[in-house]
A and B are shown apart, each in its own frame.
Chain A
Amino acid sequence: MSVIYRNIQEIVGPLIFLTNEHDVQYGEIVKIESEDGKTRSGQVVKMNEEVIVIEVFETTQGLSSENSKIFFTEDTFKVRISENDMFGRTFNSLGRPFNIYTKKILSTDIISDLELEIYGAPINPYSRDYPSEVIQTGISVIDGLFTLIRGQKLPIFSAQGLPHNKLAAQIVTQARVLTEESFLIIFCGIGIIEDEAINFLKAFRESGNIQNIISFINFASDPIMERLIIPRVALTTAEYFAFEKEMHVLVVLIDMTNYAEALRELSSAKEEIPSRKGYPGYLYSDLASIYERTGKLKGKKGSITQIPILTMPNDDISHPIPDTTGYITEGQLVLNRDLNNKGIYPPFEVLASISRLMKDAIGKNTTREDHADLSSQLLASYSDALEARDLLSVVGEDGLNYDQKALLDFGDDFEKKFLNQGTSENRNFNDTFSIAWEVLSNLSRNQLFRIHQEFIENYYIP
Chain B
Amino acid sequence: MIKSNESSQIGYITAINGSLIIVKGIEKQVKLHDLIIVSKQNILGEIIQIYNSYAVAQCYESTNNLKLNQEVISLQEPLSMELAPGLLKSVFDGIQRPLNLFDKKLNSAFLQRGIEIPSLSRTNKWHFIPHKNDGEEVEPGDIIGSIQETPLIEHRILVPINYSGVLSFIVEEGDYTIEEEIYRLKKSGKEYSLTMLQKWPITSSRPYKERITSEEPLITGIRIIDLLFPIVKGGTVAVPGGFGTGKTVIQQSLAKWCDADIIIFVGCGERGNEIADVLKEFSNIIDPKSGRPLIERIVIIANTSNMPVSAREASIFSGVTIAEYYRDMGYDVAVLADSTSRWAESLREISGLLEEMPAEEGYPAYLPSKLSSFYERAGKVEILGNNDPKRKNLGSLTIIGSVSPPAGDFSEPVTATTKRFVQAFWALDASLAYSKHYPAINWLSSYSNYLEYVAQWWYERDIHWPEVDIDWYQCRAEINVILSRENELKNIVQLIGEENLPDDQQFVIFIGKLIRESFLIQNAFDNIDNFTNINKLLGHTKLILLLYHQGQELLTQGYLLEDIKSLEVLNDIRRISHTIPNDQFDKIEKLKNKLLKDIQSIKLMYSGRKKL
> Which A residues are in CB contact (< 8 Å) with B305?
284-285, 288-289, 292, 328
Mostly helix, strand, loop or mixed at chain B's interface? mixed
Interface contact B67-A125, CB-CB below 8 Å = no
Which chain A residue shows the least CB distance to B92? A126
- The yes or no answer to B435 lying at the interface (CB within 8 A) is yes
| A327 & B243 in contact (Cβ 8 Å cutoff) | yes
A425 within 8 A of B: no
* B444, CB-defined interface residue at 8 Å: no
Q: Is B66's beta carbon under 8 Å from chain A?
A: yes
Chain B, residues 171-209, CB within 8 Å of chain A (1/0): the string is 000000000000000000000000000000000000000
Are B15 and A47 in contact, with the CB atoms below 8 A?
yes
Whether, in the assembled complex, A281 has its beta carbon less than 8 Å from a beta carbon of chain B, the answer is: yes
| A272 engages B345 (CB within 8 Å) | no
Contact A127 B103 (CB under 8 A): yes
* Known contacts A127-B103, A354-B244: A47-B16 contact under CB 8 Å: yes
Once the chains bind, are B68 and A23 in contact (CB under 8 Å)? yes
Candidates A125, A295, A383; contact of B434 at CB < 8 Å: A383
Alpha-carbon gap, A330 to B14, bound state (A): 41
Proximity string of chain A (120-161) to chain B, C-beta cutoff 8 Å, 1 when within and 0 when not? 111111111111000000000000000000011000000000
* Residues on the B chain within 8 Å of A76, using CB: 64-65
Tell me, yes or no, whether A447 is within 8 Å of chain B by CB: no
Partner among B273, B342, B497 whose Cβ is within 8 Å of the Cβ of A151: B273
Give bound CA distance, A247 to B307, whole Å.
25
Interface size on A, residues (CB 8 A): 73
Determine if A318 and B304 form an interchain contact, defined as CB atoms under 8 angstroms apart.
Answer: no
In the complex, residue of chain B having the shortest beta-carbon distance to the beta carbon of A380: B436
A394 at the interface (CB under 8 A from B): yes
Contacts of B497 in A (CB 8 A): 391, 394-395, 399
Query: Which of A24-32, A54-62, A258-266, A436-444 forms contacts with chain B?
Result: A24-32
Any chain B CB within 8 A of the CB of A87? no
CA distance in complex: A124, B361 (Å): 31
Residues 340 to 390 of chain B near chain A (Cβ within 8 Å): 342, 345-346, 348-349, 352, 355, 358, 361-362
Among B226-234, B274-282, B286-294, the stretch that binds chain A is B274-282
Separation of A235 and B309 alpha carbons in the complex (Å): 21
> CB-CB < 8 A to A351: which residues of B?
434-435
B312-350 near A? 1/0 per residue, CB < 8 Å: 000000000000000000000000000000100110110
Closest residue of A by beta carbon distance from B249: A356
Any A CB within 8 A of the CB of B63: yes
- CB-nearest residue of chain B relative to A271? B355
Is residue A119 contacting chain B, with contact meaning CB distance below 8 A? yes
CB <8 Å contact, B302 and A125: yes
- A379 vs B244: C-alpha distance when bound (angstroms): 15
B64 & A119 in contact (Cβ 8 Å cutoff): yes
CB closest chain-B residue, reference A326: B243
Chain B residues within 8 Å of A301, by CB: none
Determine the chain B residues whose CB is within 8 A of the CB of A293 once the complex forms. 306
Q: Does A112 contact B (CB under 8 A)?
A: no
How far apart are B305's CB and chain A's nearest CB, in angstroms?
A: 3
List residues of B (470-529) whose CB comes within 8 Å of A's CBs.
494-495, 497, 499, 525
* Contact call B65/A285, Cβ cutoff below 8 A: no
B362 touches A128 (CB 8 A): no
Is A359 part of the contact surface with B, judged by Cβ < 8 Å? yes
Of all chain A residues, the one with the shortest Cβ separation from B16 is A26
User: In the docked arrangement, what's the CA distance between A119 and B308, Å?
Assistant: 13
- By a CB distance below 8 angstroms, the chain A residues around B558 are none
Q: Give the residues in chain B near A455, CB-CB below 8 Å.
A: none
| Chain B neighbourhood of A326, CB < 8 A | 242-244
Known: A76-B64, A394-B497. Contact between A121 and B111, CB under 8 A? Answer: yes
> B15 and A48: CB pair below 8 A?
yes
Query: CB-CB contacts of B213-250 with A at 8 A, as 1s and 0s?
Result: 00000000000000000000000000000111000000
Within the assembled complex, what's the spacing in Å between the Cα atoms of A326 and B407?
10
- In contact, B349 and A27 (Cβ under 8 angstroms): no
The CB with the most chain B CB atoms within 10 A, among A125, A328, A376, is that of A125
Q: Let me know if A128 and B67 touch, CB within 8 A.
A: no
Question: B243–A281 contact, CB under 8 A?
Answer: no
Interface assignment of A240: CB less than 8 Å from any CB of chain B: no
Given A26-B67, A284-B345 in contact, is the A126-B279 Cβ separation under 8 Å?
A: yes
Q: Which of A125, A272, A323 contacts B275 (CB 8 A)?
A: A125
B273 A131 Cβ-Cβ under 8 A? yes
Q: What number of B residues sit within 8 Å (CB to CB) of A?
A: 65
A152 to B271, CA, bound (A): 11
Partner of B406, one of A282, A298, A318: A318
**Pick the contact of B304 from A28, A122, A273 — CB < 8 Å?**
A122
**B68 — which chain A residues lie within 8 A by C-beta?**
20, 23, 47-49
Contact partners of B273 in chain A: CB under 8 A: 128, 130-131, 151-152, 294-295, 330, 357
* A297 at the B interface (CB under 8 A): yes
Question: Which residue on A lies nearest to B303, using beta carbons?
Answer: A125
A122 contacts B111, CB within 8 Å?
Answer: yes
Q: Which residues of B contact A5 (CB under 8 A)?
A: none
Q: Which residue of A lies closest to B412 (CB)?
A: A276
CB distance from A453 to the nearest CB of B (A): 12
Query: Which residue of the partner chain A has the closest CB to B409?
Result: A318
Of residues 53 through 75 on chain B, the ones whose CB sits less than 8 Å from some CB of chain A are: 63-69
Does B112 lie at the interface of the complex (its beta carbon under 8 Å from any beta carbon of A)? yes
B76 CB–A CB distance under 8 Å:
no
Q: A48-B15, A323-B243 given as contacts; is B64 within 8 A of A292 (CB)?
A: no
Nearest B residue to A151 via CB reads: B273
Quick one: given A123-B110, A125-B91, A394-B494, are A275 and B348 in contact (CB under 8 Å)? yes
State how many angstroms separate the Cβ of A46 from the closest Cβ of chain B. Answer: 5
Residues of A within 8 A of B243 (CB): 323, 326-327, 332
Contact between B406 and A323 (Cβ–Cβ < 8 Å)? yes
Tell me if B345 and A48 are in contact (CB < 8 A).
no
Query: Contact at B244–A124, with CB atoms within 8 Å?
Result: no
Docked Cα-Cα span, A49 to B272, in Å, equals 38
In the complex the two chains form, is A273's CB within 8 Å of B352's CB? yes
Complex CA distance for A130 and B17, rounded to whole angstroms? 35
Assuming the contacts A272-B352, A292-B272, asked whether A121 and B110 have C-beta atoms less than 8 A apart, the reply is: yes
Q: Mark A166-202, 1 if CB is under 8 A from B, else 0.
A: 0000000000000000000000000000000000000
Instruction: Write out the residue numbers on chain B whose beta carbons fall within 8 Å of the beta carbon of A126.
Output: 91, 99-100, 102-103, 275, 279, 302
16 A-B residue pairings within 8 Å (CB atoms): A20-B68, A25-B66, A25-B67, A122-B111, A125-B302, A127-B103, A127-B110, A128-B276, A130-B279, A130-B280, A243-B109, A273-B355, A285-B305, A292-B306, A293-B306, A328-B305
**A residues in contact (CB < 8 Å) with B:** 20, 23-28, 45-49, 76, 119-131, 151-152, 243, 272-276, 280-282, 284-285, 288-289, 292-295, 297-298, 300, 317-320, 323-324, 326-328, 330-332, 351-352, 354, 357, 359, 376, 379-380, 383, 391, 394-395, 399
Beyond A127-B110, A376-B436, 6 additional pairs, beta carbon < 8 A = A20-B68, A25-B65, A48-B16, A285-B349, A295-B276, A330-B273
Q: When A and B form their complex, which 5 residue pairs have the shortest distance between CB atoms, in order from nearest?
A: A318-B407, A48-B15, A288-B305, A127-B109, A27-B64
